[in-house]
Structures are given as structure tokens and as C-alpha cells.
Amino acid sequence: MFTRAIVKKISKSYVDGLTTSNLGKPDFEKAQAQHAQYVAALKQCGLEVTVLNADEEYPDSTFVEDTAVLTNECAVITNPGAPSRNGEIIEMKEVLKQFYEKAEKIHAPGYLDGGDVLQVDKHFYVGLSTRTNREGAEQFAAIQQKYGYETTIVPLEKFFHLKTGIAYLGNNDLVVAGEFIDHPDFEEYNKIVIDEQEEYCANCIRINDYVIIPKGYERSKKKIEDAGYKTIELDMSEIQKQDGGLSCLSLRF
């Protein structure tokens, strides 16, 4: 059960942020509107939402998920692997002091983005990507071990972040796409398999009574609903253009 979320408004500089997509430049006003819809959906799920102001200095800073990993026991401030994003942790560290007495930290030469961390109850999966290295993943595992969590490190083949291709819904149900469909680390789960054409829908988020999914992925929507979940669909076009997904836009705790 989540009660809170932290999000950060989209800055004008967002349109010049990092991306590997070929979907074109985002429309700032449309992106802002989509972000507002996202905040409304979090509230519909019952969350109290802390909305941080936009920061022109950090074009990608709306993707707050990458700056921290939050559990019931502690906040881990990450060490984001993209140099242009690393300074985003300064503000987040301050913000999290309101909510957490304990803050842990990933240190260089370890790098880790929150988008590479999937929590399944007392188990974490950490992807090794262009943003998260083994040193960062091992530091994270050592921190979480103190609090009784296990960690499995998963080298990624194609996905940008681990959670670009996987989501945990609860009840042993895992949404999987691409390289995770037949991955040995995820054999023990009930899998909701996302087709290649709908891969973007693998980044969905379960929040209390709902699963928030991107709009326009009818086959995936049906599969998630057939597994017993109520869905909320959100238009994510301008977020997808900057390699972002639903999980990236918030920290939920």
C-alpha cells in the first residue's frame, strides 16, 4: 500500500533533454498537460502528492525515479549514471529529509539509476545498464541486505533501464517484455507477456487499487485487466519522446 508520491514539474528545457528515441521533439505544453494528468491519476489512486517545482538547469529532472529508491525502512539516494543528471540528487536528498530519518547513498565509482531497480516484496532486481554499473548495484545490494532485502543483479541486453521492460503488479504477477519474457531470473512468476509492438506498455505501475498504463495499448490493457486489475490509461506521448515512462515520473512510498 502506497500513501505518498513525489513528482517534479516539467521544465521548458525538458524538450532538450537526453533521449535515444526517434519520436521527435516533445511539445512542452502537451508534456505539461500530460504531467498534470499523471498527478491527477496518482491522487485517484489515493496518494498524497508532493509536487516539486520545475528546474531549468536539469532538463531530465522530471524523471525523479532515477534519483532515489524508497522502502519502508530507508531512502537510498542514487548516483545517476548520466553526468547531466547527477546533480538532480542534491534537491531530492533535501526533500526526502521530510519523510525519512535514514538516508543511504550510492558512491562513485558506483553508479545507479532508480529506473534500474525493481522491488518485489523483500527482493530487489537491479539491472546493469548504461546508467547502472556493477559497483553501484553491489553497493545497493549491501545497503538493502542490512534491512533484510535480497538483491539479484540482472545484466541488460537491450532495454534502456530494467523497468523499461518489466513491472511487478503484486500477487506474484509480473508484466514482462522482450529480453525478460524467457529470462531465467523471472521464471517463478506468473507472467503477463507484452507483445513486441506494445513493448512501451511494460512500464506500468501498480498503485493500490489500480494499474496505471500508457494509453493506446489495447492488447496489453486486456491482458492486465483479465489478470484481475483495474486500469487507468494515460497519454504518455510527450514523455515517451524523452525515453520516459510511467514509473520514471514519480517516487512512490
Residues in contact with ligand CIR by CB under 6 A are: 17-19, 60, 63, 65-66, 82, 85, 115, 161, 164, 242-245, 248
Answer yes or no: 248 catalytic.
Answer: yes
| Active-site residue, from 45, 201, 204, 248 | 248
Nearest distance, CB of residue 228 and ligand CIR, angstroms: 26
Nearest distance, CB of residue 18 and ligand CIR, angstroms: 4
Contacts of 190 by beta carbon, 8 Å cutoff, 6+ apart: 171, 172, 173, 174, 227
Pick between residue 110 and residue 244 the one whose CB is nearest to ligand CIR: 244
Which single residue brings its beta carbon nearest to ligand CIR? 115
Strand partners, 193: 176
Nearest distance, CB of residue 87 and ligand CIR, angstroms: 13
Pick between residue 15 and residue 103 the one whose CB is nearest to ligand CIR: 15
Answer yes or no: 35 catalytic.
Answer: no
Task: Report the distance separating Cα 148 and Cα 162, nearest Å.
Answer: 22
Pick between residue 65 and residue 238 the one whose CB is nearest to ligand CIR: 65
Contacts of 207 by beta carbon, 8 Å cutoff, 6+ apart: 2, 42, 45, 46, 47, 252
At 144, is the secondary structure helix, strand, or coil?
Answer: helix
Task: Report the distance separating Cα 250 and Cα 205, nearest Å.
Answer: 10
Report the catalytic residues: 161, 248
